[in-house]
Structure 1
Amino acid sequence: MKATKITYYITTGIISAMMVYIAFETLTKPEVKVSMAHLGFPDYFRIELGITKLIGAVLLWLPIRLLKETAYIGFAIMFGSASIAHYAVGDPADKVIAGIVFLAILITSYVSHKKLQNK
């Protein structure tokens, strides 16, 4: 159980910290605006995505099951969609794989959370 708890806190911490960092970049860096246009997304979607990442990072830590599950589902869709979008426009493999790697970290967080709930 101790290993499961450590795994949960580390993986959830990685996802949350990454989402907060990327959200601020998404909302403030002009390069992200260019990147989003390259992927075919309108600029307002960049703003929505940044705000949603911040909200999701907070929801992962709340003890309210429905909100936590919503954040996990939202991030899973986002990571999968990011990989697909990068692949669709012909971006390098590292950009495609990044979403898959973070999806794996998210799944590890989710599975360890479920194990802790069942004990």
Structure 2
Amino acid sequence: MKTTKIIYWITTSLIVLFDGVLPAFTFQTDLAKQGISHLGYPEYFGVMLVCFKVAGAIVLILPAFKGRIKEWAYAGFTFDFISAAVSHAVVDGIGGQALFPLVVLAVLALSYFSYHKMQTAVFALSK
């Protein structure tokens, strides 16, 4: 159980830092705006995406959020990473930019499965 908690907190913290906190501070930079427009998306899409990322990061990191809301946050990040991989693959071809979101998706999957393993253990202890 201790190993599961460590895996959960490390993977979840990585997702929150790199896909919640970092975008919140950098989404108005020229580089971020160029990245969104390079993929063919309008500038307002980047703002909307960051709002959802920050909200999802808050839901993932705070233990007060449980159940369906946390499931929706995991689903949202999953859609985000898959969409990012597809967008980069279509625009730039298969390469590092297209594969990196899939690596982050694997980190998210570790977070998700360890979260559910912890919840199952808590449920079993409460019986």
TM-score (norm 1): 0.93
The 1-side partners of 2:24 and 2:98 are apart by 19
Question: Is 1:110 aligned to 2:121, yes or no?
Answer: no
SS where residue 118 of structure 1 aligns?
Answer: helix
Question: Is 1:17 aligned to 2:17, yes or no?
Answer: yes
Give 2:82's aligned residue.
Answer: 80
Give 1:98's aligned residue.
Answer: 100
Aligned letter for 2:7? T
Give 2:125's aligned residue.
Answer: none
Aligned letter for 1:96? A
Please, which runs of 5 or more residues in structure 1 have no aligned partner? Answer: none
The 2-side partners of 1:91 and 1:18 are apart by 23
Deviation at 1:58, TM superposition (A): 0.1
Higher-Rg structure is: 2
SS where residue 41 of structure 2 aligns?
Answer: coil
Please, which runs of 5 or more residues in structure 2 have no aligned partner? Answer: 122-127
100-109 vs 87-96, which moves further: 87-96
Aligned CA RMSD, in angstroms, stands at 1.2
The 1-side partners of 2:108 and 2:91 are apart by 25
Runs of 4+ in 1 over 2 A off after TM superposition: 61-64
Give 1:7's aligned residue.
Answer: 7
Judge conservation of contact 2:13–2:61 (CA < 8 Å) in 1: no
The 1-side partners of 2:54 and 2:17 are apart by 10
Tell me how many residue pairs correspond in the alignment. 118
